[in-house]
Structure 1
Amino acid sequence: MKDDNIRAALFMMLGTGAYTINDVFLKLLGSELPMFQILFLRGLVVTLFFGVLLWQVRDQMTGLARKDMGLVVLRSLAEAAAAYFFLHALFNMPLANLTAILQVIPLTVALAAFVVLKEPLGWRRMSAIMIGFCGVLLIVRPGAEGFTVYSLSALMSVAMITIRDLATRMLGRSMPSVMVAFTASCGVMLFGGLGSLTEIWAIPSALGWIWLLGATGFIIAGYYFVILAMRVGELTFAAPFRYAALLFALVAGWLVFDEWPDALTFIGSGIIVATGIYTLYREGKMRRIARLNAQAG
């Protein structure tokens, strides 16, 4: 199990690193192509990829619950909205700042699960969530000169991803993961296609095509490695390594875009990471206790 957990941690870091490189390519591509065109072109390739995988497991698609189909649609809509707000923020704010804000998602999901699904949430995790939100405030600084509509876009992306992940938690075990990924990519592709009707399409340069292919390849790689991380080892061990994304974003932002966060952003990021890791630890501990109680009963 120890070796499996080490492999899971490695896969999680590879996955988060791949997602960050995808973000770098998208940010570069934003100087050449309109946002909706990017969403459509990347979504088209990703949808084709997951469509092939879905065809291979088509025999598992019988007997899907109507409730699950509704949740999949909700999840896909939230995914499309999250992609829009994320790109709106990505094209206009430092990569590391945006990545740091997104690290609060485990906290928002835990809070949403408590409110909507009535999952238990003790005072320790609730306190960690509130402290984590203070870390977010240090980064976005509402009312300060650096607070812009792009900061709001980042927060809206967090809200949409929270809805997406909450819908994912509510899905039944019979729903194949590849079906969830396929419908989500379809939602983003269709949203991008409709939005692109309002834009003037541009022809990418040779370098632009490389960036587009890079973004597409790395987002698929990110999905693949994160799934491997979840299946190889214990999720409670591997999950904290998702915060490696912040380190990747710091290095990429500095090397590629000559961006470097200020002191308050570093402090806020540290608070978010610390409270996020603690929340994941407490959640894993409570699940183990519940499992042991169920076995004893």
Structure 2
Amino acid sequence: MPLSPNLCGSLLMAVAMAGFTMNDSITKLMSSQMNFGEVMLVRGLFAIVLIGALAVHQRAIRPLQTLFVKPVALRIVGEVCGTVSFLAAISHLPLANTSAIMQSLPLAITLGAALTLREPVGWRRWSAIVAGFIGVLIIVRPGVAGFNQFTLLALVSVLFCSLRDLATKRIPSHIPSLFITLLTTITVTTAGAVILIPLGGWTQPSAHAVGLLALAAVLVLIGYQCVIMALRSGDISAIAPFRYTALLWALLLGYLVFGDVPDTMMVTGASIIVASGLYAFYRERIRHREVAASASGLPPDGL
């Protein structure tokens, strides 16, 4: 029996989140062998080759002046800064904690759309935003024992990813998405090469490490392709909530790969964030305003 469009899209979204989270796991694993600037550089080189080949095949290459289109430039700045802060955070935080904080991204996008794009937001969605960020504070727990300053970098990453997604909504439709992805990947890879030296310089990676980073690049591309297919399969508002399966994957991989066991505060905060996000998606659906649902709402992966 064929799957319904919404069910098919939901499964594709769950597969995409698995790919992204596996990429994050590999990145965190490699941070014990090299600095994250080198991770950005090596993984980015593989991604450039793969995306470049796809862009040429689909005739998506455009003049480099596209880089100076304001929304494109803002998107790239958001992705570069979001990637740097995210990788710095994930190198020092449990995988599930970082993932839980990143789940506040759809709420941050709704907040940003209200403040910068004058998107109407009712009191119910404002309440969801406030509740979601209370959940973030529970995870971050500033000023108490167990506070980790690297959680602030995860929050910085959320802010820059919000900039990325809001800018993406303003990019002219005639610019191919694949070419924007290629420009972003080249810039992120270059940024990795630049920050590599102040972070400690080049460490000769093993063949195993290079292979894992190549796999990470492939997983990210599969993830993005699955997201595109998912959003084209059914209703965005029905499929978007399955982004939160990323947290389940992060909990599973965090335990299996790194031996991380989440504490009560993390589980409580994450539950509040997810519940708030799901309610915001629900309100968008009944109000026919797909803001957070239609934005990527994805963690930064250098693409």
TM-score of the superposed pair, with normalisation by structure 2: 0.90
Note the C-alpha offset of 1:261: 1.0
Within 5 Å, which residues of 2 pair with 1:1-297?
3-58=4-59, 61=62, 69-198=69-198, 199-287=200-288
CA distance in 1, matches of 2:4, 2:141: 42
Which is further off, 245-254 or 2-11? Answer: 2-11
Work out whether residues 72 and 183 of structure 1, in 8 Å CA contact, stay in contact via their aligned partners in 2.
no
Aligned residue-pair number: 288
Note the C-alpha offset of 1:87: 0.7
Tell me the percent identity: 38
Change beyond 3 A, Cα 1:67–1:24: closer
Task: Report the structure, 1 or 2, having the larger helix content.
Answer: 1
One-letter identity of the residue aligned with 1:256? V
Note the C-alpha offset of 1:48: 2.0
Could you say what the CA RMSD is over the residues aligned between the two structures, in angstroms?
2.1
Unaligned runs of 5+ in 1: 290-297
CA distance in 2, matches of 1:99, 1:215: 17
Aligned to 2:297: none
Work out whether residues 40 and 193 of structure 1, in 8 Å CA contact, stay in contact via their aligned partners in 2.
yes
One-letter identity of the residue aligned with 2:114? F
CA distance in 2, matches of 1:237, 1:174: 28
Work out whether residues 93 and 150 of structure 1, in 8 Å CA contact, stay in contact via their aligned partners in 2.
yes
CA distance in 2, matches of 1:9, 1:129: 24
TM-score of the superposed pair, with normalisation by structure 1: 0.91
CA distance in 2, matches of 1:202, 1:140: 32
Note the C-alpha offset of 1:67: 10
One-letter identity of the residue aligned with 1:237? A
CA distance in 1, matches of 2:3, 2:175: 30
Unaligned runs of 5+ in 2: 291-303
What's the CA shift string for 1:211-233, capped at 9, x where partnerless? 21221121111111111111111
Note the C-alpha offset of 1:282: 1.3
Work out whether residues 131 and 276 of structure 2, in 8 Å CA contact, stay in contact via their aligned partners in 1.
yes
Change beyond 3 A, Cα 1:133–1:53: same
- The structure number with the bigger radius of gyration is 1
Change beyond 3 A, Cα 1:67–1:85: closer
Note the C-alpha offset of 1:186: 1.5
